[in-house]
Structure 1
Amino acid sequence: MHSQPVLSRIRTTCAQLPNLVFAVAAFLPFALLILLALGLLWGTGSARAETANTCNGTSLVKQLAASNPQKLAEARAAAAAAPNGRGLLWKIEKPGVAPSWLFGTMHVTDPRVTALPSAAQAAFDTAGTVVIETIDILDPVKAQAALLTKPELTMFTDGTTLNELLSADETKIIEAELARRGIPLALVSRMKPWMIAGLVALPACELARKADGVEFLDIKIANAASDQGKQLLGLESIGEQMAAMADLPMEFHIQGLVETIKLADLMPDIMATMVDLYLQGEISQIMPVILAAGPADMEQDASGYAAFEERIVTMRNHVMAERAAPILDAGNAFIAIGALHLPGKQGLVALLEDAGYTVSAVR
């Protein structure tokens, strides 16, 4: 009896794909890799009580502080070791060039996130050029048409089905979670695993806001730039972002799907954690805190994060730094990208410093 509503939701999701794929690539750690892949689909059988305006998650930081303060201290120590792990807004300077700005975003619709901090708003207001990861998301019809020329990025096109790639235990886990949401596995069995994971990953409140057409932060920034007549540029194409996902081994995608489903009931708390730490500018704390508070086997499972980090974060950091250079050399730019791209020895802040720019956090 769920077939027609499910098909309708899948069609809706596919129509929104260019906007939603953008959200995969820039903020979340591997255990949450799929969280923002396809943010409109959710099952009618969901038992969660969230609505479009209410998220019921509790920050894992608060939970750890009460239940295991030592683990929280260890997570914070690990985060402190990451270069440039604190702060959302960075000033970029070079002699003889007007300063520019680098701002870390989170690709969600939470109104606390979509309201720019005052310093970031001031930087945006003065900038003549605004840059986001990809401007393809602003023309969904065109972007969807481009993606349809490469269906192998999102679907099995060689006759393979997901069932053939799963163990009996994995099939049972995935089938049960999809059934809870009124989605027969057979209906989506030709989708790539990361696409299916997007059906179950986000908390209901975030899904509902997306379904209602609420803009996530990057879209809001881009539309404001267009409305104000600023030059709007992108650092990547949506095809490049999709290809980055497709480049990861199939075993990795299967692991990501299974882990995402195992974490389904924890997702509201994970989202609350990410939002709270993001708003505090504590970007490098996000993954250590989630690992510390997650299931006992989560840290072992997270060994695959290195592959994700290399292809989805690090390699793209280098591409974005290279493409940002001529924009920064022109000066007066506001570059807004997923906050996960900022920290670390190969994060954008460090790469721009290596390229000769002076980059300083704006507190």
Structure 2
Amino acid sequence: MPRKFDRLLTLAAAFPLVLLLLLVSTLLFALPAHAQEVTSCQARNLLPEEKANNPRGYAELEAIAKAIPNGDHIFWKVEKPGHEPSWLLGTMHITDPRVTAMPPAARDAFADADSVVLESDEILDPKEAAIALFSKAEYSTFVDGTTLTALLSPEDLATVNAALKPKGLSVEGLNRMKPWLVASVLSLPSCEVSRKNKGALFLDMKLAVQARKAGKEVLGVETLAEQFDAMNKVPLERHIKSLVGAAKSVDKINDAIETMINLYLEGQIGMIMPALGMLGAEVEGSSEFEKLMILDRNRIMADRGAVLLDRGNVFMAVGALHLPGEGGVIELLRKKGFTVTPVS
């Protein structure tokens, strides 16, 4: 099968950090005016075509996804004896109106909840997010004299520069910046940047703002500094591979995210990672990334979230890729004595 994506599995795994990447890209880069005017991603869901052209492979994909626990819903009811029921929503951290609309049951639960729990409540204040990013220089920049031009081969340097050029940027101009930040800029569709620059809120931010306006308590299960710490623990070699992969795949990112959105809207979050793999994503070396950015954070979310969910009538919303699997937040909450059931 031709490889339609190069290392986009890493992008999928990193998707829970898109809320930070959107913020960082706005803080650090002034994109050209024509990029800000793009409102349509002009993207297509690749899975129908794949299903028609490769029915056997698609059947295998469905079987793999079906075997992943808790991978077929994005909204869940969380209960424990003696406590008022709470709710858990898997989110995508983007501004696409199809995503931010939320399922009707989730909208109702959110409206009635006493408090709202997000990955980080610091997103309510962009200044706090900027402080978190720049509180340690090593979060965003090389502090030991390392440069991107030295880390990239001549061929890869040309590839990354070609991808950055339409945005009015170059590797030389970003030479001391951490590769994951540069990759994030390449991985953001122009329509997403445009909507955000026009004031659209990604789902988690929308929930935070609406909750605050309604007088609800807004809480977080992580700090932004902890998220940046996790990102910086990923080996530098992996970050460089992801940067080059993002540059090679820059013209395919819209289709990748559109495919993910369609699976999300169908509740098929367990199929997202396997689907990108079937479509040609590079999976080499992703296990360490998954541990640092998904599994380790799942345990933090479940441990801290459980304490807050014990209050009852809590609406908790975290990245959808944190929910499914044996090491996902749902299974971890069950091990803590909660009954977690899907809501259609």
Query: Is TM more than 0.5 here?
Result: yes
Match of 1:330 in 2: 311
Is residue 219 of structure 2 the alignment partner of residue 254 of structure 1?
no
Letter in 2 for 1:355: K
Is residue 211 of structure 2 the alignment partner of residue 225 of structure 1?
yes
* Counterparts of 1:261 and 1:70, CA distance in 2: 31
Q: How does 1:185-224 map to 2 (within 5 A)?
A: 185-224=171-210
Q: Deviation per CA, 1:38-63: give whole Å up to 9, x if none.
A: 454586498x99822x2211101122
**Counterpart of 1:236 in 2: which secondary structure?**
coil
User: Residues 160 and 49 of structure 1: is their aligned pair in 2 closer, same or farther, counting only changes over 3 Å?
Assistant: closer
Is residue 307 of structure 2 the alignment partner of residue 321 of structure 1?
no
**Counterpart of 1:103 in 2: which secondary structure?**
strand
* Counterparts of 2:174 and 2:13, CA distance in 1: 19
Q: Which residue of 100, 104, 109 maps to 2:90? A: 104
User: Residues 124 and 92 of structure 1: is their aligned pair in 2 closer, same or farther, counting only changes over 3 Å?
Assistant: same
* Counterparts of 2:33 and 2:314, CA distance in 1: 46
Q: RMSD over aligned Cα, in angstroms?
A: 2.0
**Counterpart of 1:312 in 2: which secondary structure?**
helix
Deviation of 1:202 after TM superposition, in Å, equals 1.8
Unpaired runs of 5+ residues, structure 2, are: 1-7
Deviation of 1:180 after TM superposition, in Å, equals 3.6
Is residue 32 of structure 2 the alignment partner of residue 51 of structure 1?
no
- Deviates further, 29-38 or 93-102: 29-38
**Counterpart of 2:52 in 1: which secondary structure?**
helix
Match of 2:79 in 1: 93
Letter in 2 for 1:314: L
Q: How does 1:276-291 map to 2 (within 5 A)?
A: 276-291=262-277
Letter in 2 for 1:94: K
Deviation of 1:141 after TM superposition, in Å, equals 1.4
Q: Deviation per CA, 1:284-336: give whole Å up to 9, x if none.
A: 11121122123xxx3xx312221111001100110111101221111110000
Q: How does 1:50-69 map to 2 (within 5 A)?
A: 51-52=38-39, 54-69=40-55
Q: How does 1:161-200 map to 2 (within 5 A)?
A: 161-200=147-186
Match of 1:4 in 2: none
Letter in 1 for 2:339: T
Letter in 1 for 2:38: T
8 Å CA contact 1:201, 1:264 repeated in 2 = yes
Deviation of 1:65 after TM superposition, in Å, equals 2.0
User: Residues 218 and 88 of structure 1: is their aligned pair in 2 closer, same or farther, counting only changes over 3 Å?
Assistant: same
Is residue 10 of structure 2 the alignment partner of residue 30 of structure 1?
yes
* Counterparts of 1:42 and 1:199, CA distance in 2: 11
Letter in 2 for 1:352: L
Q: Structure 1 residue runs of 4+, over 6 Å off?
A: none
8 Å CA contact 1:88, 1:281 repeated in 2 = yes
**Counterpart of 2:85 in 1: which secondary structure?**
strand
* Counterparts of 1:314 and 1:156, CA distance in 2: 27
- Deviates further, 245-254 or 68-77: 68-77
Q: Which residue of 335, 350, 357 maps to 2:331? A: 350
Match of 2:3 in 1: none
- Deviates further, 63-72 or 246-255: 63-72
Letter in 2 for 1:164: A
* Counterparts of 2:92 and 2:149, CA distance in 1: 33
**Counterpart of 2:200 in 1: which secondary structure?**
coil
8 Å CA contact 2:211, 2:218 repeated in 1 = yes
* Counterparts of 1:184 and 1:269, CA distance in 2: 24
User: Residues 43 and 128 of structure 1: is their aligned pair in 2 closer, same or farther, counting only changes over 3 Å?
Assistant: closer
Aligned length, in residue pairs: 329
Unpaired runs of 5+ residues, structure 1, are: 1-27
Match of 1:273 in 2: 259
8 Å CA contact 2:13, 2:321 repeated in 1 = no
Deviation of 1:32 after TM superposition, in Å, equals 3.9
* Counterparts of 1:156 and 1:233, CA distance in 2: 32
* Counterparts of 2:197 and 2:177, CA distance in 1: 21
Identity, in percent, stands at 44
Q: Deviation per CA, 1:199-230: give whole Å up to 9, x if none.
A: 21122111211122210000000111111111
* Counterparts of 2:68 and 2:37, CA distance in 1: 34
8 Å CA contact 1:43, 1:182 repeated in 2 = yes
**Counterpart of 2:105 in 1: which secondary structure?**
helix
Letter in 2 for 1:321: A
The TM-score with structure 1 as length reference comes to 0.86
* Counterparts of 2:199 and 2:37, CA distance in 1: 17
